[in-house]
Amino acid sequence: MAPPFRNNTHHCNCSYASTAASSNASQPSLLVFSGGPAVGDIRSRCLRLSDQSTTEALAVRTLLGHRLPLDAQKAKFEWYDIVEGNHSLWDGVSKPYRETIRAFLAYFQDQILRRSDELFCFSNGSIGNFFFAGARIFFQSLDAAIFLFSRVSQIPTESLVLPVISTNDRLTLGCELWDGTIIRGQNEISHPTNGSMEPINKVFPPANPTVLDQLKSVDCIIFAMGSLFTSICPSLVLLGIGEIVSSRSCPKPSQYVNTIFVPKDGQIPLDIDSLAAQGIFDVVTVDSLQDSTAGILFDPKSLIQSLANLLRGNA
């Protein structure tokens, strides 16, 4: 959905707040080696917003979106080919961009070589994540790394990508129960192996002040699709965010979470009676696309229009 929003918000300020917490299931080798916050979600958002209007912009996007092979040895060879500037992924990237990107990839490689006591695995590694890690370690700032990545990938100046927590420390998704038990990892929260857990104890880490400032001034707040407790709540529980969201004059969830969007020709059957019992009385069919891998998907333009109609009360 990010590219259509980017294309339709050239004259609007649009901020994307993203978590920087590890679920203990992704980027394990990178996080164990470099520490700091997880950058996968932020890097993914930046790439989706990146410029695609020129040949060079597409080349930069392809380079930063590239993943190394699963085979560890092949991944290592390809990584060295990229760092040394010999890989075909550099084709179409001009010298200024090439030197800027290579500098931070090389800096990340230098950090690896300095830790001779640990073996780094490049398997399935993301070039964008390595660039992000190099920039973050160099600047000792996640915000500075995001700023650099945004400029290199030519994200529109009206769009901001912000971490909900501004820190250079490693963040792990977890929760604390009332009895003091700590649960770490997304899977253990969403699908606990022990079904008799104690009630959760609420904690409120401080939010990124820039995110709070943006929430105070926006006309519309959109919650991304995802798991309630591991994708949405990690942002909402931060100190100050819930209070600002509730104080805004934007339409509240109770005003519009009574509609369900379904893709045309989708294969998931709907139980209208069960939906109505939960307060969802309106089912909107949205144009769809056929994807060779994922199957039936929402048509982005049609979904955006449907969301706009809903917010205007015309769904």
Give tens-digit pLDDT for 229-274. 777 777 888 888 888 888 887 766 556 567 888 999 888 888 888 8
pLDDT at position 25: 42
Closest among 11, 12, 16, 13 to 1, alpha carbons compared:
16
> pLDDT tens digits for the chain (315 residues)?
555 555 555 556 788 887 766 554 444 456 556 566 677 788 888 888 888 889 999 999 999 999 999 999 999 999 999 999 999 999 999 999 999 999 999 999 998 888 777 788 899 999 999 999 999 999 988 889 999 999 998 888 888 888 888 776 666 677 777 777 777 766 666 666 665 555 555 566 788 899 999 888 887 787 776 677 777 777 888 888 888 888 887 766 556 567 888 999 888 888 888 888 877 778 889 999 988 877 888 998 999 888 888 777 654
Distance CA 4, CA 57 (A): 17
| Count of other CB atoms within 10 angstroms of residue 116 | 7
Q: What is the pTM of this model?
A: 0.69
The residue ranges of every structural domain in the chain are: 2-163, 254-315
Q: Smallest Cα–Cα separation from 18: which of 140, 149, 110?
A: 149
Contact 234, 173 (CB under 8 A): yes
C-alpha torsion 89→95→101→103, nearest 10: 120
**Residue 4 and residue 23: Cα distance in Å, rounded?**
28
> Could you read off the pLDDT of 78-116 as tens digits, one per residue?
999 999 999 999 999 999 999 999 999 999 999 888 877
Rounded CA-CA distance 97/9 in Å is 26
Q: Could you tell me the CA-to-CA distances from 5 to 162, 238, 264, 302 in Å, in that order?
A: 16, 26, 21, 12
CB atoms under 10 Å from CB of 123, counted, come to: 16
Report which of 126, 136, 124 is spatially closest to residue 40, judged by C-alpha positions: 126
